[in-house]
Structure 1
Amino acid sequence: MVDVYLFSGFLGSGKTTLLKKMIMEFKEKGLKPAVFMNELGSMNFDSEEVGDGVPLKEILDGCICCSGSEKSEAQIQTLLAESEFDVLLIETTGAAHPVEALDAIFSPLFAERLNFRGIVTVADSKRFLERQQLSPQIRSLFIEQIRHADLLLANKTDLLSESEQSQAIFEIQQINPTARIVQTVHAKVPLKLLESVSPAQRGPVEQAPVSKLNLQTKIVSFDEPIEREAFEEWLRNLPDTVYRIKGYLTLSGHSYPHSFQYAYGMVQWLPEYMKLRNQIVLIGENLEELVMP
């Protein structure tokens, strides 16, 4: 049987960072991981992070717990038929309810081949403390992702004071008193902790389908290199309803693009060493009102 871990968490919480680390650790242990990824938009920049030699299937432009459930079943069945692997790591879109995602993934066609180990939810600690600023639908999903976790990573604790860290842990425990909670920076957690996870009995599910969340995606392409200072000034003026931006951008004076990540006001640039399309994807609400740089 193949061990299965489902990585949950809202947009920009650190799921892909966790995924990359776990792929490396499983390989170092001599195990072969495979990955199934889901993205709301029509492009998945995160799949570039998986690396060569790792079997990968993905669902784009939809949520596996909504219209994409049949596609998810087909993709996982194909993955099992085409590749030999020991561990399946499933990264859901940030708009997915983890229990609904499980329902979509475990088909009678291959359920007996999967050994589900648990839901690992990555929660942005800073955003959690500021959750009242989110729309009611988004806040409800955020809470549901925490409530149904078997292992909770209270991530980005380096952005909080000690008192704020204590407050975040206390409030998370009120939502999910049974899950193990680990404070992390950059979703760094030892593999042995992940392997100790076991699924808990699920409570009632509060419906929070993506169709009711008003989340949108917008792809923006650039024909010319961009000025970093001007672009970051545009970022500073974005409304709070832009939750996530990611992609590749060539900066003025550079031959190769940078991998670009943005979540809740935090920006990360990482240099790349190959030619990639200058393109970013935005995820949020009311994107049609945005003035692009």
Structure 2
Amino acid sequence: MIDVYLLSGFLGSGKTSLLMNLIAQLKEQGKKPAVLMNEFGSISIDSDTVGQSKDVPLKELLNGCICCTGSEKTEAQLQGLLEEHEEIDVILIETTGAAHPVEALDAVYSPLFADRLTIKGIITVADAKRWLERDKMSPQIRSLFMEQIRHAHILLANKTDLLTEGELATVSMELANYNDTAPIIQTANGHIAFSFIEETLGKMQKSERPTIVSGKNLPLSSKLITFDNAVEKDEFESWVRSLPDTVYRMKGYVPLKGSKNPFLFQYAYGMVNWIPEYVKMEARLVVIGEGISDIEYGGTPKH
């Protein structure tokens, strides 16, 4: 039997950081992990990051949801992993930040794999800073954010390094009141011991599967921006700061003047992060949010 862990959480919460940490730990333990990733939109930015681990089998679901409405595609990708890589003993599934975790879990429960997969549970990554200001989110998006947290079997209060001690205490107490069955682990950069996850979920008795609440028809959309020329870093960050609060997430490769290769650019909830790349990636940026159709970069982007 192959153990399956589902990683859930809102856009920019830190799921891919958690995923990369777990992959490294599993490999250190001599286990052979595989990954199924669901990207919001048609561009595989996060998958490109995971794909750098050449010895980790990877399948993608692009431009669609790993939920009950996309269960056939999910089954096909899982089938591909199982048939092409018989040595797998752990599968990590990272859902898009717009996925309802119960719908995603339901898509994995397939009679095709009943004798091969053991669904261990849902690990949800919650952006602790976003939790404190969740009332600023639109009602529909806030509902999804809360649902992802409510259905967690293990809950990571992530990005705690950005909070004061008082804020951290408030987040921990409120999360515990909202989901009183999941252990709440305070993390930074998605660091948690896989052994803890394995032991905790192993002790949990299987409970009745919750009613599926649809997470579809959310007003989220994605937009792709590509660049013909390199940009000034300060000018680009000024543009980022000028964007409306309805931009929840940006990720991609941005070419900077004076640099040989585009930088990996990450944006979530007002925070920006630049990571140098040592190979030349295609310059492209994915913007995810509400009402973003008119957003353009002031340089020379192609849409």
**Do they fold alike, i.e. is TM over 0.5?**
yes
Structure 2: tracts of 5 or more residues without a match: 299-303
Q: Provide TM-score, normalisation by structure 1.
A: 0.97
Change (3 A) 1:117 1:66: closer
- Equivalent pair of 1:8/1:120 in contact (CA under 8 Å): yes
RMSD over equivalenced CA pairs, Å: 1.3
CA distance, structure 2, for counterparts of residue 90 and residue 197 of structure 1:
18
CA distance, structure 2, for counterparts of residue 289 and residue 130 of structure 1:
25
CA distance, structure 1, for counterparts of residue 209 and residue 75 of structure 2:
24
Instruction: Decide which of 44, 60, 63 is 2:62's aligned counterpart.
Output: 60
Q: Deviations over 1:54-93 (max 9, x none)?
A: 1111100011115422101111011111102110000000
Q: How is 1:11-160 mapped onto 2 (pairs within 5 angstroms)?
A: 11-50=11-50, 51-83=53-85, 84-160=87-163
Q: Deviations over 1:115-164 (max 9, x none)?
A: 11111000000001110000111111111111111111000011111111
- Equivalent pair of 1:141/1:208 in contact (CA under 8 Å): no
Instruction: Decide which of 214, 219, 232 is 2:219's aligned counterpart.
Output: 214
User: How far apart are residue 204 of structure 1 and its match?
Assistant: 4.1
Q: How is 1:139-218 mapped onto 2 (pairs within 5 angstroms)?
A: 139-198=142-201, 201=207, 204-205=210-211, 207-211=213-217, 213-218=218-223
User: How far apart are residue 202 of structure 1 and its match?
Assistant: 5.1
Q: Deviations over 1:32-59 (max 9, x none)?
A: 0000000120011111121211111110
Q: What one-letter code is carried by the residue in structure 2 that aligns with 1:127?
A: R
**Could you tell me which residue of structure 1 aligns to residue 301 of structure 2?**
none
Q: What one-letter code is carried by the residue in structure 2 that aligns with 1:3?
A: D
Q: Provide TM-score, normalisation by structure 2.
A: 0.93
Q: What one-letter code is carried by the residue in structure 2 that aligns with 1:210?
A: K
Runs of 4+ residues deviating >3 angstroms? 202-206
- Equivalent pair of 1:117/1:197 in contact (CA under 8 Å): no
What percentage of residue pairs aligned between the two structures are identical? 57
CA distance, structure 2, for counterparts of residue 39 and residue 228 of structure 1:
26
The 10-residue stretch of structure 1 (283-292 or 35-44) with the greater mean CA deviation from structure 2: 283-292
Q: What one-letter code is carried by the residue in structure 2 that aligns with 1:160?
A: L
- Equivalent pair of 1:247/1:279 in contact (CA under 8 Å): yes
Q: How many correspondences in the alignment?
A: 292
